[in-house]
Amino acid sequence: MSYAVGDRVRARAGDPDKHTRLPRYVRGQAGEVVALLGEWVLPDSSVAGLAATETCYAVRFAAADLFGSGDHTVTVDLWESYLERA
Amino acid sequence: MSEHDHVHDDADHHDLPVAARVRRLEERLIAAGLASDEEIDAFLARLYESASPVNGARMAARAWTDPAYRELLLSDGNAAAAELGFTELGYQLRVVANTPDTHNVIVCTLCSCYPVSLLGPSPGWYKSFAYRSRTVREPHAVLAEFGVTLPAGVRISVWDSTSEARYLVLPVRPAGTDGMTAAELAELVTLKGLIGTALV
């Protein structure tokens, strides 16, 4: 599964017991892909001594969705396996 | 509000538990024969020798005076940096432009990622738990503590540097600077302006 700019995606809700760079505050939340950044080593993989690469996306969330209030947006860079289609 | 909640806390890093942890890590590398104290010091000296917010300021001022450079800066930050001699950044540079209706702010909630070579060593507040946790949640309040009040109608866009990309804010060129050269304009640009905690 890969995504394009404009796609609605949801950050996975799970709480992995290993290292990840999927911030807790976006887990389970839906946002919009605003940029494709490149193919980079997944941090969850590199800490295990592996070097699996994945597409990384800039995903924009509405603060009101994340925190229940606020008129700002927060854009977070997320690797493909952190996401599912919303 | 506890002392921990203030974004201006600028603890001396040498006194923090993390400094002792870093030293233990260095000692492991040295014991394993992977690096020496001298090599680590030389690496840091090289990194910080040329790292300065003057670099980011030059890029911003050039973008204000050269529309083609501005376009390059916003579409390919690394190419734009290289044009001013800042090559091999070691990260993907993404520059986000403030406009009359959008103000950008950079944060790294997971650690303290930041384009060191273009901004110099990061300020203590940028690494503080308060700045990292509050900027994504209540950026207006954080900016107010930096003395920044945005005009009504300006929306804040926060960028959380969670990946290999490093972000830089291109401020809006200040009014009344029409006759100034790029070199003069660069002197107006501050480190905070390039992070988004000041207007310029």
Q: What is the pTM of this model?
A: 0.90
B108 is catalytic: yes
pLDDT tens digits, one per residue of B120-178: 999 999 999 999 999 999 999 999 999 999 999 999 999 999 999 999 999 999 999 99
Residues in B closer than 8 angstroms to A58, CB to CB, are 94, 165
**How many Cβ contacts (< 8 angstroms) between chains A and B?**
67
**Nearest Cβ partner for A77 among B136, B138, B162:** B162
B122 is catalytic: no
- Residue pair B117/B55 in contact (Cβ under 8 Å)? The answer is yes
- Distance, in Å, from the CA atom of B132 to the CA atom of B169, rounded to the nearest integer, reads 17
Instruction: Tell me the two tokens of residue A14.
Output: 């799970």
The dihedral of CA B109, B112, B116, B119: what is its sign?
Answer: positive
pLDDT tens digits, one per residue of B118-127: 999 999 999 9
B36 is catalytic: no
Instruction: Tell me the two tokens of residue B63.
Output: 């973008």
Torsion of CA A47, A51, A55, A57, to 10 degrees: 20
- Distance, in Å, from the CA atom of B179 to the CA atom of B37, rounded to the nearest integer, reads 50
The widest CA-to-CA distance across chain B, in whole angstroms, is 58
pLDDT band, residue B2 (cuts 50/70/90): very low
